[in-house]
Structure 1
């Protein structure tokens, strides 16, 4: 293949076909989740196989196109990410069955000061989502409690739903086992700790301001139920996952340790037996299977789009419009935001945009950790503001209000949007660009899992 490929807008036709199909089915049915993402990706992949290559690329036979598709879908870091998705699902399955989720929620409620009910619900949501790594799981677990509190305090149910969604998006962005965080870090070849450090520094103002605003919001006196039972032992798997991730241990052994500790505690408490625990591990994994398969198809589709010249066309177009590092970072944020709006799935949006973000980062000499943080931040705050996204649909449904009515109350997502823009325009926190922190040697590290593990170990040493 030639070193110089001419960009071609038609190389984006597969992605455009997917977006049109997704939007059209949503308009026709009135439900934007009616088109299964996997089916949409398969159709887009079929479209990609029918298009001619970009100038500078040889015309491939159908068999060679299939091989190229499989090369993209089987790229080592992508498969590593898929494995992590599956392990995270296994952990969530075990943790839910052995009572870890309810223990985290009830522990927070039991120590909640009466005058801090609203910020307390938000903080519990943050802790729960950080521990679970899933915004949807957090909303499902916390909304029943939040609705009960709303009834007792007279708080607008839409406001309470907005508080829960905000707390849920905190962990969706920052949790070490969140698919969003995993995707953004793995695709850019950085450690979770490296991305987390930049992310949390950027979002601290949003956290503080949101808590203050909620504390100042007037509500009537409330006496919460005293029957929120919890078991501190049940929280051990979450503590292990958080602590081991913070000290920089590779995410795979972290997940395995979390699963094993959850199984041991569940067996000791009689929640399940050794054999039946495997059923819950499997159920948890099954919850991530669609995400994993979609990720593989996206990897293959992006590889074909490169061959068709679509990625190069985007690069050329962005290159003409983007003149600075700040503009390059803003372009990455806008791209992943647009994909989130189109697909309502921030992990898929990150996986799709990641190759282009890598190319932009290489061209404008951006630090990989900043690119990973950009992908994660812009992909999460918008997710809490899309009325047809799963988070608002579930929260609105459980609160018995319209998802649109929840949007004005998701204050945390608006605040994180502002913080994300400040991250771009002020360049704070700064990351020194070096050959190691940039993309000079990224390709070698991305294709070798041992090198990725070595990067994790180096972070521990530092």
Structure 2
């Protein structure tokens, strides 16, 4: 009996070789980016397909299988009900974003903020507008693209450091990436941990609120020349209704698919009423929005299959054992989760994929050490989003750096919010607050 327990304990340590497919993917991704000078030259889908192909060719010596059996494992992993639900939500979120843009909801949110922006609080005001916009849109790249021209104009008129205003925009963009109900990172974090968006939001907002407050205070004391932003900013409060519906319905705990569909149809009716599009054009706009999420949906399925194969090969058990072998407390488990998703994000420059890949392992760690799933989801989202906003080779800094004509590296020190997210995240782990509510959903 004792021998069997020792054998099981040893087998639970897993095998490092089971991580070879993931290591090859990360090496290919990093080397391609470093050699070519652009990390976008290695498409994530191609890299994951290569890693998946390698995993299919490998076999566990302790449990040998045929290729056909490993293909079945891959398909079952990619077809997990949690992943498929995530894919559906991704597609609906894409449709919602497309419809909201088509009926000018994005412009209304931005212009509303600009119309009430006090000239003596222009920098904190820019951050608040960015937070509202990113929370409404659920996309950091969309926020950067929308606000970058305004930030550059502010820097020109005030003589403010252009790298600073770029850092403000990127920080605000990561606020929404982390907290928005329609952000793909929120969808990934909540689905991998099988919890509701409402519970994750409650734990997450308490975790990052100090970072928001500190960042605003710092921006208030940045010396700049007081100016008025020129231009006329038109907005229609009715156009903001779809965003308000999504936020309110999510906060009261309505099922996420119902929330997304309600938002889409609200945008459709308002757009048709205002003549922004016809019913045929609406369908095309919604379809184009869905297509914008196709890559993310397919990558999520491929990652699910790859993780299933690495679990069979012993890689997941090895990683879990390595991360937790000296961990005795929930605090150590939380640090392991933060380190895991941060390293994944640094390697892939994609916070959503980092969460999808790290999520199953994080769930195992949280169960082992009694960490609430909502807190685990928050840690995954906070650290992946924070690091994604600080990587000079990630899309956010590359885009705004190119638009502003400055080096992405020069923007990094001025993305105070992302830096503060990491600091308050570590403090949250140290003090064990907020605990989060452990309510799972199917």
Q: TM-score, normalised by structure 2?
A: 0.96
Q: Which consecutive residues of structure 1, in runs of 5 or more, have no partner in the other structure?
A: 439-444, 446-450, 453-462
Where does 1:17-32 land on structure 2 (aligned, <5 Å)?
A: 17-32=24-39
Moved more, 333-342 or 354-363: 354-363
The one of 3, 15, 21 aligned to 1:8: 15
- 8 Å contact kept, 1:150–1:156: yes
Q: Please tell me whether residue 155 in structure 1 is matched to residue 160 in structure 2.
A: yes
* CA distance in structure 2 between the partners assigned to 1:243 and 1:225 by the alignment: 33
Helix, strand or coil: the match of 2:293? helix
Q: Please tell me whether residue 352 in structure 1 is matched to residue 354 in structure 2.
A: no
* CA distance in structure 2 between the partners assigned to 1:277 and 1:83 by the alignment: 19
* CA distance in structure 2 between the partners assigned to 1:140 and 1:261 by the alignment: 25
- 8 Å contact kept, 1:5–1:54: no
State the 1:142 CA deviation.
Answer: 1.1
- 8 Å contact kept, 2:204–2:375: no
Q: Which consecutive residues of structure 2, in runs of 5 or more, have no partner in the other structure?
A: 1-6
Helix, strand or coil: the match of 2:40? coil
Helix, strand or coil: the match of 2:150? helix
* CA distance in structure 1 between the partners assigned to 2:307 and 2:139 by the alignment: 26
Aligned to 1:305: 310
Aligned to 1:441: none
- 8 Å contact kept, 2:324–2:336: no
Q: Please tell me whether residue 426 in structure 1 is matched to residue 399 in structure 2.
A: no
Q: Please tell me whether residue 47 in structure 1 is matched to residue 54 in structure 2.
A: yes
- 8 Å contact kept, 1:54–1:309: no
State the 1:321 CA deviation.
Answer: 2.5
Aligned to 1:178: 183
Deviation by residue 1:336-359 (Cα, 9 ceiling, x = unmatched): 000000000000000001111111
Aligned to 2:301: 296
The one of 311, 318, 327 aligned to 2:323: 318
State the 1:5 CA deviation.
Answer: 5.2
* CA distance in structure 2 between the partners assigned to 1:400 and 1:27 by the alignment: 21
Aligned to 1:459: none
* CA distance in structure 2 between the partners assigned to 1:192 and 1:54 by the alignment: 41
Q: TM-score, normalised by structure 1?
A: 0.92
Aligned to 1:90: 95
Helix, strand or coil: the match of 1:351? helix
Ranges of 4+ aligned residues in structure 1 off by more than 3 Å: 2-6
- 8 Å contact kept, 2:373–2:436: no
State the 1:6 CA deviation.
Answer: 5.5
State the 1:54 CA deviation.
Answer: 5.3
CA RMSD for the aligned pairs?
Answer: 1.4
